[in-house]
Structure 1
Amino acid sequence: MIVAGASLVVLSGCSVNTALWGADGARVIDTTEQLIDAASSGEQDTLACEGSAADFGDSQAWEELSAGEPEEFNGETSVDRPLLDAAWRINLEGTANGRVSGDISPTDVFYREVDDSLCVADIIWQTIDLGEDN
């Protein structure tokens, strides 16, 4: 039954991301994958919103990351970024290969919708804690 459902999604031309997250959520995931590719090669500025102070950090920090789960953003209820002018938030997932406790990694990206596209409004960076005794 599950295989038939997955086949139906593929046959209908609908991506798995669209089936799970809707068209808008899939667009956030696709944009995030583009951002990760661009940031890994140092070309992320083209995705920044005009006037954004988002810190894209070191390009190596973006390697081996992937888009997580998108959600609509509400700046009025956000603890992390109160009153940020953004429409979407997505977490970043990845491995800690080659990273050590104390390294800094991007964990969340906030997007603003501008002219039917998404631009980066802000990024949350966190210190990696692998639970090692130093």
Structure 2
Amino acid sequence: MQADYLFVYGSLRRAGSHHHLLEKHCRYIGKALAPGLLFQIEDYPGLVMTDNAATSVTGELYQIHDHSVWAVLDDYEGCSERFSEPYEFVRQIYKVTREQGDEINAWIYVYNFPFHDLPVIASGDFLSSSE
């Protein structure tokens, strides 16, 4: 399965502190939802995918037009060869739902560590929870 899209839900969003990492390499498509739960990990969020249609995470969808961005983003998310495994985040492809209601395959950095003791961000929106 391939995807030329990226779903972001934390500091890479337009109002996030590290959005500049995307600006030259991606085109903003719009808001989107991913099926999952969002957890608070120190000062950043972690998305854990679920099959439960009742829970979703708010984020943004970007189309990747310069694939060199993956090296930058993998480094930022701590899942490049510079880091030892297991990685805290892994990049995987999942279906996300665009504002228009259609689904599209997108890369998502998914939280890969134990999460059962972490606080849930009930709104599913990290930026609204950190205001």
Q: TM-score, normalised by structure 1?
A: 0.28
Instruction: Identify the structure with the greater helix proportion.
Output: 1
Instruction: Identify the structure with the greater strand proportion.
Output: 2
Q: TM-score, normalised by structure 2?
A: 0.28
